Structure 1
C-alpha cells in the first residue's frame, strides 16, 4: 500500500477483486490504498467499514482515508440514501480533493426484469431495462445521479472467475440433477484480470465514464450444457482412477466425470439440439458488453473458461 497523502486509487473493500487489481497497480505504477473491515483486517490496509443503514452521519473513520483521484467501492450498497451519504462524507473529510467514484455492481440487476419480453429480443446491453425493484440497482442510480458535479460510474459485472474461482468447481452444484441441468441456459463470465484492467481504464479516462452504467463480460456467451458435457462433475472421479499407477500423460482420458455428460446427451435428443453450444436463440438470453470495450479501446485478454 502506498503511504502518500494522495493516491491515484482508493479501494474501499480489499476483497477478491483486489488480488488482481493491486498487482496490476504495482505493474503500472498506479499508487493506491485499500481498506478492510476492522473485524477481519488484512495486511497493509486501513480499517474501514461503511454501515449503509446508519441514520446519523459519522465522518470519523472517513478522516483515516487518504485523498484519492478515484475511489473504488467494491461492496454492494442497497439502502436508500447510503450511496449519496458515502460520497458526501468522503468529500466533507477531504476538502480540496476532487475524487471520482466507481461502484462495482452485478449484472444480476437484469435477471427477472422485462428485458426478455421487450423488442430487443434475447440480447441485453447496458441500456436494457433493469429490475426497478432491485435495491442494489436503485442505489447505483442514486450514485449516478451525482454526476456530473461529482463524477460517478457503475460497472455491472457478470460472473467472476480467476485464482481460486474455477467454473469447473460449480458444475456439480449448478446441475446436481438432470432437471436442474435442463433449465440451465447461458452463462456470462469475466476474469479478475480483465475486471482490473477495466477499472484502471476508467480511472485513466473518467471523462468517458461519467454518469454511465456499464455491463462487463468477456464478450462470450457460454452454454451450461456445453460446459457440463465437457467437464462433468470433477469431484466424482472414481477411487480406482485416482489410484491408477499409469502416468496421466499415457493414460486414457478419465471417465469419472459424473452423470452430467450423459444427461446432456439425453437432453440434446429430447430437445432436438443437434450440436453444442446451443445458439443464442436456443439459449434465450445473451449479454452484449461491446459498449465498454469499444469506449475504452480495450479487448478482454482472458477468455475460454477453465
Structure 2
C-alpha cells in the first residue's frame, strides 16, 4: 500500500478546511470517520478507535502515513500509548503524531495576565495528561483557541454566552483561530517536523479580543440577519426592530458603572491574555484569517 503524507483520524469540521488545502499542496492523504461518509469531497474510511483494546489489528485496514493527525480527544496516557504504539506495530514502522487539543488547559490561576505555551496548565485534565504522554513519544500537540469559520459564526454565540447583564459583566478576553489557519498550521508542522516534535504549541490568531468590544461591534447583527432573510423572501424575524442587541446596551451601561472610557479594555482588565505570536514566529508564517 502506498505511503501517504497524512492520515486524519476523525475527519470533522477541521478537515473541511484541511482537505482542500492538502489537495492544493499536492499532499497525499486519507481520512477516517465513524460511518465512512464523504468529507470535503473525499471518501473516508469507516473506522473508530477502541482505546480499551491493545489489539493492533484495529489499525490493519488503515494505510500507513508519515504523519497522523488525531482530531478527537484522548483522555489518558494509556490511550495515547495504545494508539501510537499499536498503529506503529501494525504498520511495522513509526509515524509522527499530531494531536489537536484545546487552549482551555491554561484556564487556571496564573501569576501574570500574559499566558504562553510555557505557562502552567491544568496537568490534572485528562486531555492534558494524554497530550503529555504524546509529547514524551516525540509527538506534537496543537492547543487550539476558539474555532471559527464556515458554519461557526461567533456573532451567533452572543445570546448563548451572555443571556443577562451579569453574564456580560463577567465576559472578558476571548481567543480565536480560523479553521483555515488551523489547516495551515498543520501543514507547517508537517513541513518542519524537527521544530514541531516533542512540543506543545498554543494556536491563536494573534489577537486578544475583548468580549465587550465584540458585542458592541455586533450590535446590529440581528438586524443584518433580518435584512438577509427579507431579501430571500423569508419572514422578518421579530428581533428586527432596528435597535441594538441587548448585550450592546448592557456593555454601555457597564462602561458607565465601571468608568471605562472606551473599548477595548486594557489587557490588565481583560485578565487572561494568550501570547499568540510564537507559533507563527517559529514556523515563519502568519495567520490568513486573523480578526473575527
Asked if Structure 1 and Structure 2 have the same fold, meaning a TM-score greater than 0.5 normalized by the shorter chain, the answer is yes
Q: Is the 8 A contact 2:80 2:134 kept in 1?
A: yes
Q: Is the 8 A contact 2:101 2:142 kept in 1?
A: yes
Where in structure 2 are the equivalents of 1:70-219 lying within 5 Å? 70-95=67-92, 97-111=93-107, 113-115=108-110, 118=111, 121-147=112-138, 152-219=139-206
Specify every segment of 5 or more residues in structure 2 that has no aligned partner in the other structure, as ranges: 232-239
RMSD: 2.2
Where in structure 2 are the equivalents of 1:204-283 lying within 5 Å? 204-232=191-219, 234-235=221-222, 255-283=242-270
SS, match of residue 93 in structure 1 = helix
Deviation readout 1:167-222 (Å, 9 max, x if unpaired): 00101111111100000000000001100000000011111111100000000010
Q: Quote the offset at 1:290 in angstroms.
A: 1.9
User: What is the aligned partner in structure 2 of residue 248 from structure 1?
Assistant: none
- Number of residue pairs the alignment of both structures matches: 281
Q: Is the 8 A contact 1:233 1:257 kept in 2?
A: yes
With the length of structure 1 as denominator, give the TM-score of the two structures: 0.87
User: What is the aligned partner in structure 2 of residue 249 from structure 1?
Assistant: none
Provide closer, same or farther for how the CA distance between residues 94 and 283 of structure 1 changes in structure 2, counting only shifts above 3 A: same
With the length of structure 2 as denominator, give the TM-score of the two structures: 0.91
SS, match of residue 71 in structure 1 = strand
Please point out which of 17, 37, 41 is paired with 1:41: 37
Specify every segment of 5 or more residues in structure 1 that has no aligned partner in the other structure, as ranges: 245-252
Q: Please give the alpha-carbon distance, in whole angstroms, between the structure 2 residues aligned to 1:243 and 1:293.
A: 42
Provide closer, same or farther for how the CA distance between residues 191 and 237 of structure 1 changes in structure 2, counting only shifts above 3 A: closer
Deviation readout 1:213-269 (Å, 9 max, x if unpaired): 00000000101001111113744779799769xxxxxxxx97344211110110000
Which contiguous aligned blocks of 4+ residues in structure 1 show a shift greater than 6 angstroms? 236-242
